[in-house]
A and B are shown apart, each in its own frame.
Chain A
């Protein structure tokens, strides 16, 4: 039997098993914290920072990613403070810098909820929109499905992109796990100066 701890999320007392994250504790209590790179059942990754919340610990306020931060006894969490709302708006706008405005309905709904202008920084990335926010869900889903990891990241910094490893893509025609988890409505496409491998969409659609 795991120890149960009590924490406070938005002025509400919430109980959670020790070892659970703030996000899990909130969801268990029926409270919503929006996410982009989180998916039930997959190991949390902490890349989009959209689930950021404000916590108070030892009298000090701090912003943490709720999908990774463990729920602690007596922790005070604010999920929608003005600061958090502003951060989420900026993150959505930044996510659309290279992904473009034509993203999933989920992201568009979040954009209108947080008053985010998805075209705000588009002119700062003079490339055709990628539709991909590099959340890594497809990569993680592929790994955790115990396939041979047909998708992975290549490049770093702004040159990071999703690539397909064609020699490992044997199962791709039958498996659609990566498409099921993609939050932008598009499995993924490559982004960067030189796509090192064929686009996964093309492979999935049998074009290559």
Chain B
């Protein structure tokens, strides 16, 4: 890195920004390789090394810059490589593709067609990111810079206008004005609660007690969610800048970034960011030459889902077991070490610099009334395009899943979407046109949560999936409150019984009774919402429960105890494939003779169903299995074949 300059005034900051910019030529070729967790898992570091070696070999080392950047969200298509200044995006890049990219794209300025993203509708390659359907309908305010900056280099962030919001807040606004601006923006807590951020700030600002703390909540633990992780990995300075502005606004002198130990890249990048910010005079004593002094520590969480809850998180920072505390007095007033503590989610903090810089009016113009700004969702499950999606509040679920997500995989039918992590509710097809905002989601029995979004198709059994989430929560509950601990234990047992075909007629009523007790009485949000999956499954898919309990069948053909495998003799081509692969030796038959399954031996592993090339294996639930053929039966060849 260059000689570090300590920024002592807003002028210094602008001067530094100009210096950095003048050193960089926009026409210079550069290669950006994503090094976030998803792409790293898909071997991105090897791709980067291949670029270094190839550029060296071709003598281009000094003319082309290689940049490690953050996540763009389309992780299943990784590793992602972007060539600047042409902005050509390549996906699924392997080290062996690198020589071709260097000689064609960098030297000849041509596009390597085969590495482009193929639009499934047209089959054509798409060169620019914003033309890919997955990105076309997004509005990327928070994630935009992830691809442009090296998260380990503060100068990249400064070059793109970083820390100018902090300078503006410190020198052009009073703390009260900052709080007022955030209040006017109607920004709501992105951790899922949806509490008005400005009000929370004001509460902490006015609360008696010194010192005050400002804390970042990056304890993201929902299965399938990685929004906070990507932001922390890809653009840690945006979170840090928001945090420092918050500290100024509420009068905090100390801050914490609570990040899970399981996010090693996030831990590393935020730690580096803090160190660099200190070196540049953006953290520590007399920030940018103002009278604000603020220091930040990283606290690594030990992997407890419940520690994402505000009072549990603070208990954990205090060095105790992360358990929610009775908090009829808000943590904003009495939090960490009983002092006023302002805790906000990663996405909330990252929104703050934008609000300060561009104004509350601008922020309010995005989204809907009462739900301003954008939200990042992690769209996963049975959709064609999975990944991180940033959209304005108020977009409909249908647009999210069908336009951005590209619809359901394999042309199957949509069944439900779960929003808000393991304790979010399921939303059925008939409600797909509701706008995605805090209030609407709660109305239909779900919640915004931190933004996890799991899409389910017709093959998902809604009783089984409710059981899955209850089982997740019963290990992640802290176990303190009786209705949560024992309630989840009993719910899990009842749901397992129903899925195993041992459901009793009173089970639905018992389930509702326990779920209601949990929702009414529990101490923390985890407990109060833990029964959401069960309650919404019952509310929207009650007939499925009844079919399991009364008719002993699983309409989605997912609950193993309730299904049988059967080979349709009309379709079987006696290819011997299933017969050879069956691990239980349950399939009978011979060459040119129809195969059939010996139900006594079948262990319902589903291997035959998955490997049959002729769709001859069927799942039956709640209907009698036709008897096997007597003796050997010759197959009937399919039409059009010999």
Contact = CB atoms under 8 A, between A and B. Distances in A.
A93 B328 CA distance: 27
B332 to A, nearest CB: 16
28 contacts: A46-B326, A47-B480, A47-B482, A65-B326, A69-B328, A91-B483, A91-B517, A94-B483, A94-B486, A94-B517, A124-B489, A124-B494, A134-B480, A134-B485, A136-B480, A156-B304, A156-B476, A156-B477, A156-B479, A157-B474, A157-B475, A157-B477, A157-B479, A157-B488, A158-B474, A158-B489, A159-B475, A160-B479
Contacts of A133: 482
B482 A125 contact: no
Interface string B528-542: 000000000000000
A169 interface: no
Contacts of A47: 480-482, 523
B322 to A, nearest CB: 9
B486 A97 contact: yes
A155 B485 CA distance: 12
Nearest to A44: B326
Contacts of A44: 326
A33 interface: no
A52 B521 contact: yes
Given A50-B482, A134-B479, A157-B474, 11 more contacts: A47-B482, A49-B483, A49-B523, A65-B326, A68-B328, A70-B329, A97-B489, A124-B494, A134-B482, A157-B475, A157-B488
Please classify how large the interface on chain B is, using the bins under 10, 10 to 19, 20 to 34, 35 or more: 20 to 34
A157 B478 contact: yes
A94 to B, nearest CB: 4
A160 B485 contact: yes
Interface in A111-148: 121, 124-125, 133-134, 136
Contacts of A158: 474-475, 477, 479, 485, 488-489
A98 B485 CA distance: 10
Interface of B: 304, 306, 321, 326, 328-329, 473-483, 485-490, 493-494, 513-514, 517, 520-523
B504 to A, nearest CB: 11
Nearest to B472: A157
Interface string A60-78: 0001110111100000000
A124 B418 CA distance: 27
A124 B490 contact: yes
Interface in A76-91: 83, 86-87, 90-91
A73 to B, nearest CB: 15
Contacts of A97: 486, 489-490
A98 B521 contact: no
A20 to B, nearest CB: 13
Given A156-B306, A156-B477, A95 B482 contact: yes
A153 B488 contact: no
A159 B483 contact: no
A164 interface: no
A153 B425 CA distance: 31
B482 A87 contact: no
A150 interface: no
A125 B493 contact: yes
Contact of B523 (A65, A125, A136): A65
Interface in A154-187: 155-160
Contact of A90 (B321, B329, B474, B514): B514
Given A94-B482, A156-B478, A87 B490 contact: no
B527 to A, nearest CB: 9
Contacts of A153: 321, 479
A188 to B, nearest CB: 14
Interface residues of A, number: 38
Nearest to B325: A46
A42 to B, nearest CB: 13
A7 interface: no
Nearest to B493: A124
A128 to B, nearest CB: 15
A156 B316 CA distance: 14
Interface string A28-40: 0000000010000
A90 B489 contact: no
A67 B514 CA distance: 22
Given A156-B306, A157-B476, A159-B475, A87 B489 contact: no
Contacts of B513: 86, 90
Given A44-B326, A87-B520, A153-B321, A49 B482 contact: yes
Contacts of A156: 304, 306, 475-479
Contacts of B326: 44-46, 65, 67-68
A46 B489 CA distance: 20
- Kindly list the 5 A-B residue pairs having the minimum CB-CB distance in the complex, ordered from nearest: A160-B479, A68-B326, A124-B493, A94-B486, A46-B326
Contacts of B321: 153
A5 B327 CA distance: 21
B489 A49 contact: no
A48 B523 CA distance: 10
A48 B527 CA distance: 13
B478 A90 contact: no
Contacts of B493: 124-125
B51 to A, nearest CB: 45
B453 to A, nearest CB: 25
Nearest to A161: B479
A83 B477 CA distance: 25
A117 to B, nearest CB: 12
A46 B485 contact: no
Of the candidates A83, A94, A157, A158, the one having the most CB atoms from chain B within 10 angstroms of its own CB is: A157
Given A134-B479, A157-B475, A91 B521 contact: yes
Given A44-B326, A156-B478, A90 B517 contact: yes
Contacts of A160: 478-480, 485
B538 to A, nearest CB: 17
Of the candidates A45, A47, A67, A136, the one having the most CB atoms from chain B within 10 angstroms of its own CB is: A47
Contacts of A136: 480
A87 B477 contact: no
Contact of B481 (A49, A69, A121): A49
Contacts of B487: 94
A95 B483 CA distance: 8
Nearest to A51: B521
A52 B485 contact: no
A168 B306 CA distance: 29
